[in-house]
Amino acid sequence: MDTPFNPASTSAYDAVRPAPRALATEAVHAGREDLARQGLHAPPIDLSTTYPSYDSRAEAARIDAFAADGAELDGPPVYGRLGNPTVARFETALARLEGTEAAVAFASGMAALSAVLLVRSALGLRHVVAVRPLYGCSDHLLTAGLLGSEVTWTDPAGIADALRPDTGLVMVESPANPTLAEVDLRAVAHACGSVPLLVDNTFATPVLQRPAGQGARLVLHSATKYLGGHGDVMAGVVACDEELAGRLRQVRFATGGVLHPLAGYLLLRGLSTLPVRVRAASATAAELVARLTADPRVARVHYPRIGGAMVSFEVHGDPHAVIGAVRLITPAVSLGSVDTLIQHPASISHRIVDAADRRGAGVGDRLLRMSVGLEDVDDLWSDLDQALDRGRTQAPDVKGLHEALN
């Protein structure tokens, strides 16, 4: 069946799917294998919200099939909330990069996590075991029980003891936002037994770590970060086996947190440069880590063993003054873009977490989190250097700063 629709799920596509290839090759080819046969080079963007059909009996049968197992529809998706061919290309590519059977995309990372929680609690499995730190809003969603879940916080060694008959999910982040703490994924997966382990792989990306190969059943990304890579797309995605993907598609259909096709296009395009971006930014980050570690104005530097482009550090002086003084680096939350961003987690990304819980997770008031981009390392260092000086000597003069910039 040679059809422009849902290239990921057609049998013709499976037939021509080549043997597994290197990540760098998959990054530019996965989800696009059918294009040349169609006489296309760039993937088409399908903005349809509905799909005409003269055969409503056939449509009824396809909707019944989706209701049964949530498998991706063969042929046109009937309606935009059931699927989208452009988004399906991104899902195919991300699944290939993470080494999973499937991936399901959502409107944001938090929409993706919400769908996972809903899938599990719909089975009566509303208890979650989680390890801090997590991204601030993930922590908040679990702690506040906004979706009816109940959380037990523990350390990796306490996971097995924290499991209950109604535990539906174990959740970890590694490296974690914002301390870059790492957990041994294989050991954690073992401790989970038959309870699905969800690993938030936003910081590592599949370039540095593929959690499914270490026993994670669900791999979550805020695709807003490295997968998109240019600070202009909000998205989330869960890579997992086909059984869980079916449930996630059913929840996505029923709750509506779908990804826009234009975002799907931008994410597919972002994936093609992901390995190059992550490797280049990581090399710069490693050099900045060396300079920060040797700097007397810096009390402590956090950098994961697996590397990456995220660096966190604690200053002796005023962290707010450092944020107020950067000029080349952008003082903003989020991460994974081509340009370098810095933020103060206790004020922004993790503000929503109770102060005692935040500090208990190692997110101190002097901690700064930096997402290293693709700029020249010496230009970045000279900006950091003058900002660290401001942090040492004075609190930020916000009024003077605005006058200087205007």
Ligand X SMILES: *Cc1c(COP(=O)(O)O)cnc(C)c1O
Q: Which residues are catalytic?
A: 81, 135, 200, 225
Residue list 181-240, contact with ligand X (CB under 6 A)? 200, 202, 222, 224-225, 234, 236
Q: Which of 30, 87, 110, 251 binds ligand X (CB under 6 A)?
A: 110
Nearer to ligand X, 141 or 315 (CB): 141
Nearer to ligand X, 177 or 343 (CB): 177
User: How many angstroms separate the CA atoms of 272 and 237, rounded?
Assistant: 17
Contact 192, 162 (CB under 8 A): no
Q: Give me Rg for the CA atoms of the chain.
A: 22
Nearer to ligand X, 113 or 298 (CB): 113
User: How many angstroms separate the CA atoms of 345 and 234, rounded?
Assistant: 20
User: How many angstroms separate the CA atoms of 184 and 175, rounded?
Assistant: 10
User: How many angstroms separate the CA atoms of 220 and 211, rounded?
Assistant: 10
Residue list 126-155, contact with ligand X (CB under 6 A)? 135, 137-138
User: How many angstroms separate the CA atoms of 345 and 13, rounded?
Assistant: 45
* CB hemisphere CA count around 337 (13 angstroms): 18
The answer to the question of residue 318 lying near ligand X (CB under 6 A) is no
Q: Classify 163 as helix, strand or coil.
A: coil
> CB neighbours (10 Å) of residue 38?
12
Nearer to ligand X, 198 or 388 (CB): 198
Q: Classify 154 as helix, strand or coil.
A: strand
| Minimum distance of ligand X from residue 79's CB (angstroms) | 24
Q: Which of 10, 149, 167, 177 binds ligand X (CB under 6 A)?
A: 177
Nearer to ligand X, 119 or 310 (CB): 310
| Minimum distance of ligand X from residue 112's CB (angstroms) | 8
Nearer to ligand X, 232 or 378 (CB): 232
**Residues facing residue 169 across a β-bridge:** 128
Contact code string over 246-285 relative to ligand X, x by CB under 6 A? ----------------------------------------
The answer to the question of residue 368 lying near ligand X (CB under 6 A) is no
# of chain residues touching ligand X (CB under 6 A) = 15
Beta strands in 23-149 (DSSP E): 102-106, 127-131
| Minimum distance of ligand X from residue 170's CB (angstroms) | 16
Residue list 63-92, contact with ligand X (CB under 6 A)? none
The answer to the question of residue 343 lying near ligand X (CB under 6 A) is no
Q: Classify 20 as helix, strand or coil.
A: coil
Query: What φ, ψ does residue 199 adopt, rounded to 5°?
Result: -110, 125
Where on the chain is the footprint of ligand X (CB under 6 A)? 108-110, 135, 137-138, 173, 177, 200, 202, 222, 224-225, 234, 236
